[in-house]
Amino acid sequence: MTTGKVYLVGAGPGDKELLTVKAVRLIKEADVIVYDRLVSGSIMDLIPEEMELIDVGKNVGNHPVPQHEINKILLREAQEGKMVVRLKGGDPFVFGRGGEELELLSENNVPFEVVPGITSSIAVPAYAGIPVTHRDFCSSLHIITGHAKAGAELSIDFDALVRLHGTLIFMMSVSTVGRIASGLMAAGMAEDMPCAVIENGTYPKQRKFISDLAHIEKTVKENQVKSPAVIAVGKVCSLSDKFDWFDHKPLKNKRIMVTQPRSKASKLESKLRLLGAETMLYPCIKTEFIRPLAPPFEGYDTLVFTSTEGVRSFFTWLLDAGRDTRAVFGKRIACIGSATAEALREFGLRADFVPSVYDGEHLGKEMVESGFVKADDKVILLRAKIGTEDLTEALDRGGIPYLDYPVYETSYVKHEAIVDLESWDYVTFTSKSCVDGFVNTQQRNNFAGVRALCIGKQTAAVAAKFGFDTVVSEMAAIDSMVEKVWRDSND
């Protein structure tokens, strides 16, 4: 058997948008991923569902799988011929024990590569408005681990650190911050030296506390700071308030659950995170293209799409069948909304008709009233196996004949864990099926007091039946949802 290869990949400090391009590619191409608890949930969401995962569970003070066993796991998986991604928080070689993991591989002639990650020692202060170097304040940067075994002395040369007059970044130091502060002051550092403690850095739930050396231990205890946290010591910490950009985001401290299918959730989740929200991807439905597919579209002059999935299913089938978009030449195309029209543009086509309100009722009604479709037209609806009746009822009232042809189907996603909804500010629903799918996962039928951010009135109506406190976007579009939650959270 051919030996595989191990990629030692740094996952960065937590924010998934700080992953390197190479890291993202390897995560998707791997045969197996061996990961730590310090890898954020949003990064884990990028991993394909069918991926083999090995959780080695390393966290501060909690190593259920000893390091020597992790080394053996990497060797075993590679010797089975697999492409192994060892996914580690931060950078593998900055207090990540990456060197230890490569020793056994090197001894056994197993190929490996190292993919550096953005280290939290630099990124976390940056997210707190602290430049770790500044020509007016310091000329050096020093990264130190404050971790020590219980009862053991810290192996830190405090005298040397104080003489260097640089910025000091202490990792894994929450439990030893008092000993560190005492050591620095004993070595001659001023008691009023600015300090910062940043907990959960780069995550939406990031907390920052500014203090000075004499009071840093008290600050940590009073605010119950927990790992992971980075402690910065140096004059550059005085710039934090001036340069702070992260804490001023409009959705900071808001927790929003995204229930869209995994394949569609990235746009909504990304926009919410950019505004500072903490998000959790909790897909409640999944869509699958119906195959084999043979829509008799050539006998129809008007194609109607009610979702991005319908567009992609139809045109993917068309291309797989050895044809291309020239097959729909001369046909008119209607789309339910801007997102569906944008999906059509991905295949080089423009929608001829988009309603003023993005839902099935207005799509059908406005196609009839505008004369876009007439009684002698041949209309084919390319949509879900179980689609909304609002569209077909509107066409029926207008006397428009049509063929309702399913090109994909939707099913519920099962979740083992029941969500603690009281800890979330909003649950998002982008379709009626998302509402049904979410309710199906929870062991309750009444959701009174749970705020539901809904993409339109039809989705909101279904959510309201289950007792949700609905917040409705003015347009059935992702951007409108984001704008609505921004306004609602600031009212």
Catalytic annotation, residues: 36, 58, 172
The two structure tokens encoding residue 29: 């191409």
Cβ atoms 355, 338 nearer than 8 A: no
Contact 463, 429 (CB under 8 A): yes
Residues near 430 by beta carbon (within 8 Å), at least 6 away in sequence: 259, 260, 264, 268, 455, 459, 478, 481
Residue with tokens 């971790």: 147
Burial classification of residue 117, based on how many CB atoms lie within 10 Å of its CB (0-12 exposed, 13-18 middle, 19 or more buried): buried
What are the φ and ψ backbone dihedral angles of 148, each rounded to 5 degrees?
-150, 150
CA distance 58 to 53: 14
| 363, two tokens | 């799509």
Q: Please say whether the beta carbons of 224 and 246 come within 8 A.
A: no
Q: Residue 40: how many CB atoms within 10 A of its CB?
A: 20
The maximal CA–CA distance of the chain, rounded, in angstroms, is 91
CB atoms under 10 Å from CB of 348, counted, come to 9
Distance (Å, rounded) from C-alpha 368 to C-alpha 366?
Answer: 5
Q: Under the phi-then-psi rule, with left for phi > 0, alpha for psi from -120 to 50, and beta for the rest, what region is 292?
A: beta
Exposure of 120 in the CB half-sphere (CA atoms within 13 A): 34
Asked if 88 contacts 101 with a C-beta cutoff of 8 angstroms, the reply is no
| 175 secondary structure, DSSP code | G
Tokens of 109: 């002639």
Backbone phi, then psi, for 408, in 5-degree steps?
-155, 165
Name the strand (E) or helix (H) holding 35.
strand 32-35
CB atoms within 10 A of CB 345: 12
Reported as type and span, the H/E element at residue 210 is strand 207-212
Q: How far apart are CA 421 and CA 450, in angstroms?
A: 7
DSSP 8-state class, residue 13: S
Residue 266 CB-density burial (10 A; 0-12 exposed, 13-18 middle, 19+ buried): middle
Pairing between β-strand 426-429 and β-strand 255-258 as defined by DSSP bridges: parallel
Single-letter amino acid, residue 451 = R
